[in-house]
Amino acid sequence: MRWFVPLLPLSFCISAFAVETNTWQQAGMDDFEKGALKNLSLSSEGKLCLAPAVKEVLDASAAFLWAVARDSKGDIYVGGGGLGSSQVKLLSVDRQGTIKTVAELDGISIQAIAVDSRDRVYAATSPDGKIYRIDGSSKPEVFYDPKAKYIWGLAFDKSGNLFVATGDQGEIHKVSPSGSGSVFFRTEEAHARSLAIDSKGNLIVGTDPSGLIIRVSPAGQGFVLYQAPKREITAVAVAPDDTIYAAGIGNKQATPPPASTQLPSPAPATASALGGAITVTGAPARPGALPPPAAAQQAITGGSEIYRIQSDGYPRKVWSNAQELVYALAFDGQGKPVVGTGNHGYIYRLDSDYSYTRLVTLSSTQVTGLMTAPDGTVYALTGNIGKMFSIGPRTETSGTFESDVLDAGAFTYWGRITADPEPQAGLTIETRSGNVSRPQQNWSAWEKLNSGRVASPSARFLQYRLTLSGSAWTDEIAVAYQMKNVAPVIEEIETTPFNYKFPAPATASNASSSPANLTLPALGRKQPSNSASSASSGANSPAMNWSKGWAGVRWLASDDNGDTLQFKVEIRGVNETGWKLLRDNIREHYFSWDATAFPDGKYIVRVTASDAPSNPPDQALTSSRESDWFVIDNTPPEITCCSVLGTNEMTIQFRAKDALSTLGKAEYSVNGGDWVVVEPTTRLTDSTEHEYRIAVPRPNAETTVAVRVSDELENQSVAKTVLKP
């Protein structure tokens, strides 16, 4: 038999799913970024549409490409490095796509390229770099040596003067067409990190490590337009209306290292003039390309920000990303800023101050340079691996989106799947399903919808795939589904200590912790006794209140569908066959009742769980579980009292017997005095019947001795004997 096993608060396993028609809705960038896009663009507002067409133009067989420029004939020049050679190649691609090596220059990397009005190419090498001029008719010649560790950017003004951005002293050099030059402006920073020229001939310079964006007039007068929160301005670009866009990366250090030991970010930046023959680019070193000082070899943290500075000087942050690092800026054929990032190969387009589009994803992990041709084609350089891609202006013919996986929680029926807007030509939806969390491992094949409904077999997991073509787009997908209803489960059922009852539900949370209350320990955990003083504390389930003659039961129930459950509690004697209802439609996981209405005996309780509150009547399911047998005993022990033996020293002898319960404590009191515990003759109280002896001296006057015996369920009897002198 089981008298009771006290419990701690019950943790009911409630699933997040219920048997009702649910909708898996995906809308917004956060939802769609969880899936896999191929040839599709994704806007910050959650719009999926065809991406600009991407084509690999060149594989440089190098780790990185960092600099790009275009001449008036449409030939494109690129340079990079990263393989550790003492010479680096300058490559060209003509309009027919023919690739050739233009020159091999001394150095580890080509960091910047520019083309003058006569289509002569200028390439800057690092470290301890020089600027080479290549005119195609003779060998490359050293055009200018700035005596600087790094050359980050080159730009021509309208007069043919070449401006050179350098590090590690942060100087801008001005070089005449004849090749004579000198320091034009000192930034007072370690690095003049990025460089562009506006329509008035002003230089726009980004620095490291203070994150300054400086405007330098043709006369060499500098003015800080903005000090960015980020430490390094990796790229600057100037729009036709002289609006400036600048990219900042990395958190600033509390104390920047000395200029001689500080190296900017391991990625390049470019600034491309729109629609002209002269293209300006600048690029930083990548890991392994230049041996950086030890103090500078630190991971870049803090993500990226892009700032827009209007022609009147007003600055504003227009984009940020906590993970991506911006390496390049340019403008597309419509004049919108495009952003090259790492380390996922994403190129973004800024559509407005509040919206942007993840335009394309390249196969290389870092987009290190950008340039736009007059026809609107954007050329992107990459690192890891060093390639050049053309992007647009036409779009891809088709693209796909594979969603993340819906885990419905259990075996599930699939319903309709809809796209917004609908209907539209050029949008196809397919699905597949399975019972393992990873797709493609024994899942069903992709199937098109059947009259708008999912045709994949019922299962636990579902994935959908969109195929877009033409002008099709969508910004919302909704899938209807419903789990198969399964019966609830009664996992545990236990009776509670006799003579205690649960409070009414409204007062359950306000139960007192006085000795008249009992807090139950964890499910299945036994405690030394059923007394209130030894009960486990800190439980969250309702404390039980002392109430003579009451019995209780509690249970642990769960439902895989997460349905709301209600319970029915019934009772019968162990030798009876019919169940008697105690209470129905119980929402709590416990119940107590007045057991004085039941004759003494052994009983069993049955709890039935039903999910009817969450299901139609014809679909509701139930399950039941019975308790171990327990005793209802409201009758006190019978005391046979008393025989008195002896003369001077007297012995009072009595017996106690209980029909159902083990005896508990026995006590005696003399003339109404304090009660004194007396042990049975066996010393152990472990039976339904015991004999007791009390030794007392012969009294000098008539004396009343009362004896009191209780059973295990605290039923109590009292008897007495009178001693004569």
**Burial (Cβ within 10 Å: 0-12, 13-18, ≥19) of residue 724:** exposed
Please give the Cα distance from 493 to 495 (Å, whole number): 7
pLDDT averages per 10-residue partition of the chain, 725 residues:
37 47 95 97 97 96 93 96 81 94 92 96 92 88 96 97 96 97 97 97 98 98 98 97 97 60 42 33 37 42 94 96 96 97 96 96 96 97 95 97 95 95 89 93 94 96 97 97 93 94 68 60 49 34 88 93 94 96 96 95 97 92 96 94 84 94 94 95 93 91 94 93 88
Residues 6+ apart with CB under 8 A from 301: 250, 251
CA distances in angstroms from 232 to 166, 268, 302, 516, listed in the order given? 14, 12, 11, 70
pLDDT at residue 20 in the model = 79
Which CATH number fits the domain 638-723, given the four candidates 2.60.40.650, 3.30.70.330, 3.90.730.10, 2.60.320.10?
Answer: 2.60.40.650
Q: Please give the structure tokens belonging to residue 705.
A: 């001795």
**Three-state DSSP class for 531?**
coil
**Three-state DSSP class for 613?**
helix
pLDDT at residue 516 in the model = 67
pLDDT at residue 203 in the model = 98
Please give the Cα distance from 402 to 710 (Å, whole number): 73
The answer to whether residues 348 and 361 touch, using CB atoms and an 8 Å cutoff, is no
State the Cα torsion 593-594-598-599 to the nearest 10°: 130
The dihedrals phi and psi of 259, each to the nearest 5 degrees, come to -55, -35
Q: Where are the domains of the chain?
A: 57-293+300-394, 400-483, 489-632, 638-723
Of 322, 366, 376, 319, nearest to 344 by C-alpha is 366
The answer to whether residues 326 and 268 touch, using CB atoms and an 8 Å cutoff, is no
Q: Does domain 489-632 have CATH number 2.60.120.260?
A: no
Q: Do domains 489-632 and 638-723 have the same CATH topology?
A: yes
Which top CATH class is 57-293+300-394? mainly beta
| β-sheet bridge partners, residue 121 | 115, 134
Count of residues for the chain? 725
